[in-house]
Amino acid sequence: MHGKIILVTLLCYCGNVFAQSGFSEKPFETTIEVFDANGRPFTNPGIDIAGSPFYTDEWTYADIRLYSNKELTNVKLRLNLQTQEIHFLSKNNSEMACPAGMIKEVRFHSAAADGKGATEFQSGFPPVDHNSTTDFYQVLSKGKSTLLRSLKKSISVQKDQLSGEVKKEFVLYEEYYLLHQDILKRLKRDRSFIIAMLADKKDKIEDFVRDKKLKYKSFDEIRQIIDYYNSLP
């Protein structure tokens, strides 16, 4: 705990430097020493495993917000979907994993797949199913109600019964959740679930769905509904 407090202090101190030109060597070198003490170097899971554990393999500039609400900008990062950890490059270009429970929010500068701006991930949500409070969710819509996408990767092992050959690969699993009034529930693609969760605007929601000819059957349609709900006064 003492090490984590030191790290947060150092990161906050370096924030303005990061915003201008990435990492500044001297304060970053000190920060890395603390990371080494509290985090861990990343070990590649194995060259015999197809794919990768990351959201994207490329290092991407991002802005981050710590649980202290302090922010750092223009930091090169990538998100490990297997361990649910944020990775960064040390001063000597070694890949490091940031301790879980330190970073609250990551906003990657690259556009999301739907072209609606930067890709945002957050942690700190109530535990649900097999997800803990330190797991990251992609934020698809936020406001009075928040639509979240859980992305996780695990290693699938398949053995050929005839040849005995073993094939390993990273497999992506995704689930959608809705956070409303501090209650997090796995999303159901049906009218009754959505109306029950957004009951305070039931009439307006149903008018919107009817006008747009939506059917509650796809996540894109549900996202439109949540976006509309969040736009209401």
Banded pLDDT at 113 (limits 50, 70, 90): low
Which tokens in the block code for residue 46? 């194995």
Provide the pLDDT for residue 16: 39
Banded pLDDT at 21 (limits 50, 70, 90): very low
Q: 178, 146 in Cβ contact below 8 A?
A: yes
Task: Compute CA 230 distance to the chain's CA centroid, rounded to the nearest angstrom.
Answer: 21
Q: What is the pLDDT of residues 130-169, one digit of tens each?
A: 999 999 999 999 999 999 999 999 999 998 878 878 899 9
Q: Is the pLDDT assigned to residue 100 strictly greater than 80?
A: yes
C-alpha distance from residue 197 to each of 63, 115, 133, 176, 222 (Å): 31, 27, 22, 14, 12
Tell me the residue ranges of DSSP E strands in 162-223: 166-180, 183-186
d(CA 106, CA 78): 10
